[in-house]
Chain A
Amino acid sequence: MANEKRTDQLIEQKEVGMQRADDTLSRAKNGDQMAFADLMREHQAMVFSLAQYFLRDRATAEDLAQEVFIHLYQNLSSIESPAHLKYWLRKVTGHRCIDHARKHKMRTVSIDEAPEPVASFEFGDSLMTATLRRIVATLPEKPRLVVTLRYQEDLDPTEIAEILDMPLNTVKSHLRRSLAILREKVTRCLGEVEV
């Protein structure tokens, strides 16, 4: 009984949230800048983190995230729903990351060349977290983006394939190979750690 009530409350909360998101989007589309700022605050962590794990640089990631949101502002009329907005942001961020890498010819470094985890090691991060971030950063561009979308955004391979315009089998193979590399390198870096 209590569980049913709790489920009903959760469904109600979700519906209210969706209604609010719809309302914010429609106000932003109508030119309400406050509503657009609200949309941006809601999604900035997603866009920024995708860029940061791909570009490996906080300042460049912020610049790229800014460009994504300005592009969104200019194309807001084409966004149909809050779900479409999320999909659009992930897609545009992913493609911009790949474009940025092409333009700047980002070099994929080997694990031995990869910088020490000091820069990305923040208070509260475990050694495992810092090491994983460092190793993810050494993956080639597309596999890195696939792994980030899989584990940061919790997307399944079908969704990733759609976002990156990539065949499903390619996504699955990137994931399989990347995970094998990550496991091997983590074991090598941290020694006898259970992974």
Chain B
Amino acid sequence: MSRFDDELRLALRREEPSADFADRVMARIAELPVTPKQEKSRERSNWWQRLAAVFQPPQMKWALAGTLAVVLMIAGFGAYRYREQQRMLAEIAEGEKAKEQVMLAMRIASGKLNVAQKKVQKTSER
């Protein structure tokens, strides 16, 4: 870069317009009618921008807290259902065991009765 380039840069440096420039433009914009194109574009961008805003830092905190709460609730409910199911299965197994014991007792009793009956029959035949 030559000194001449630097002088040109200095001569053609950016300058600010008058202090009320932005206010004047905004005042002119306020007088503009909203075109259907702008309205449509805003409506179109609204839904996804609202969705995107959820994932921006301040809102993200609440979204994460909400998600965490839902996950904890689902996990708690799942654990409760699992424990209930295990308890029912244990009760069924105990019932089956008791039933088997009763059946065994009845089989033994029936065997004993048969033996006793045969002995009574033999005695009466004599």
By a beta-carbon cutoff of 8 Å, the part of chain A in contact with chain B is: 26, 29-31, 33, 36-37, 40-41, 44-46, 48-49, 52-53, 61-62, 65-66, 69-70, 73-74, 76-77, 126, 128-130, 132-133, 136, 147-148, 151-152, 154, 179, 182-183, 186, 194-195
Contacts and interface: CB of A to CB of B under 8 A. Distances in A.
Interface of B: 3-5, 7-18, 21-22, 24-26, 28-30, 32, 35, 37-38, 41-42, 45-46, 49
B54 to A, nearest CB: 14
Contacts of A151: 5, 8-9, 11-12
Given A77-B38, A151-B9, A152-B12, A195 B3 contact: yes
Residue among B4, B5, B11, B17 with most chain A CB within 10 A: B11
Task: Identify whether the interface residues of B are mostly helix, strand, loop, or mixed.
Answer: helix
8 contacts: A36-B26, A45-B14, A49-B15, A61-B17, A73-B32, A151-B11, A154-B9, A183-B4
B28 A62 contact: no
Nearest to B16: A45
Given A77-B38, A129-B11, A147-B8, A65 B21 contact: yes
